[in-house]
């Protein structure tokens, strides 16, 4: 399961993606629109800023904005920045690798092999899907459900 942190980060980026090109957006606006605790969101946006995904502007009229086009920000990046490993086992994680301490031989572990396959499929989707894709999917879903 993704942590709340990761989920909030994605949601915030989607909102900022819709706002791309406009004036920066305040934390409190994002927080209230997306029902995210403001203080928690502050920390998350700061992380994303320090990672170079967002710019920020202090003072009156300040806020946050995307540095890059939402089509160039991929979901997998957000997971990694917010500490959510893609893999289901530490021994198949690219960025959060750890040896399974109960496993005697990684190279011949059948369990690992299965979860390697899962990771590859997951990674494929998440590294091909951008914030812009999420936004356009929402458009399609709204059409299809007639909401």
Partner DNA sequence: TAAAAGTCTACTAAATCTATATACTTTGTA
Partner DNA sequence: TACAAAGTATATAGATTTAGTAGACTTTTA
Taking CB under 7 A as the criterion, the residue among 23, 32, 33, 43 binding DNA is: 43
Instruction: Using the CB atoms, write b or e for 96-127: b if 16+ within 10 Å.
Output: eeeeeeeeeeeeebeebeebeeebeebeeebe
Partner interacting with residue 63 (select from a second copy, DNA, none; CB below 5-8 Å by kind): DNA
Sign of the dihedral defined by the CA atoms of residues 33, 39, 44, 50, in that order = positive
Q: Which is nearer to DNA, 12 or 130 (CB)?
A: 12
What's the number of CA atoms in the CB half-sphere (13 Å) around residue 117? Answer: 5
Does 61 help bind DNA (rule: CB under 7 A)?
yes
107 contact choice in a second copy, DNA, none (CB below 5 to 8 Å, kind-dependent): a second copy
- Residues at the contact surface with a second copy, assessed by CB under 8 A: 1-2, 7-8, 10-11, 14, 34-36, 75, 85, 87-90, 100-105, 107-111, 113-115, 117-118, 121-122, 125-126, 129, 133-138, 141-142, 145, 147
Measured distance CA(52)–CA(97) in Å, rounded: 24
């Amino acid at each position: 399961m993704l942590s709340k942190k990761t989920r909030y980060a994605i949601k915030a980026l989607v909102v900022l993606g819709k706002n791309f090109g406009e004036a920066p957006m305040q934390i409190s606006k994002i927080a209230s629109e997306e029902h995210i605790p403001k203080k928690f969101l502050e920390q998350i946006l700061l992380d994303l800023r320090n990672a170079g995904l967002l710019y920020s502007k202090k003072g009156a009229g300040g806020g946050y904005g995307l540095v890059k086009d939402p089509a160039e920000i991929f979901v997998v990046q957000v997971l990694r920045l917010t500490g959510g490993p893609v893999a289901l086992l530490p021994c198949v994680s690219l960025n959060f690798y750890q040896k399974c301490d109960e496993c005697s031989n990684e190279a011949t572990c059948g369990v690992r092999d299965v979860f390697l396959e899962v990771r590859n499929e997951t990674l494929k989707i998440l590294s091909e899907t951008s914030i812009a894709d999420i936004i356009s999917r929402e458009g399609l879903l709204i059409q299809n459900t007639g909401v």
